[in-house]
Structure 1
Amino acid sequence: MSASGRFPRSVFNVGQEPDPRFTLANERTYLAWIRTALALIAAGVALELLGLDLHPGLRLAASLILIVVGIVTPLLGWRGWTRTERAMRSSEPLPSSPLGVVLGISVSIAGVLVVLSVLLR
């Protein structure tokens, strides 16, 4: 298949084809972000729907944070995949990703809200 028939063209029409192992590793990283997103959404839904004996407002806030971050994660993961793939194809340094920091801060905030909701019930 030619590069012009591959999606997205904005990635595959750039530079030269890298070693397939690097492209596949980049794809596996993106798929890991997708799995992480599914887990975040499931955790947010479960936290709210299980009706645990927690402070309702804080429980809802923690659930919403997890669900929203779960929605944003695939978008940032896709952006990271395209930037990394383009950099590999152009023999440029690999870009950094804000995704780890975003997830770390968000999950920490949700965790603090759950702890507070346990203490304030």
Structure 2
Amino acid sequence: MGEGDTFVNAVIGAVATALLSGFVPLAPLLGGGIAGYLEGGGRDDGVRVGFLSGVIGLAISLVLFAVVFVFLTAFLAIVPDALGVFGAMGLLVLVVGTIMTAAYFLGLSALGGWLGNYVKHDTTIGD
């Protein structure tokens, strides 16, 4: 958890994102900010570690998404009439929702990394 230990700082940010995401809006921003603050270095280092934190946080979310998808698939297999209701529009919503979630996680985490680096080097917070 030192300055420049990118992977460890990204994991810490991803864990913060996972723990906060249940009750704090914009949790990836905070997780990326923690990772960027711990990383130090330049602004590009903060963005990089924030983005990596978002990738790890997104992977955790995709595991949860896979569990939901398995249960949804099992439900559709058991109740064939539900497939007509769900249909192509439901699949489209699922795909667009997944893309929007990825953009949310990655974008806010990278922005948080930049802001965390900014707070560390350009403010008096933490001195």
TM range (shorter): 0.3 to 0.5
Larger helix proportion, structure 1 or 2? Answer: 2
Higher RCO (C-alpha under 8 Å, 6+ residues apart)? 2
Structure number with larger C-alpha Rg? 1
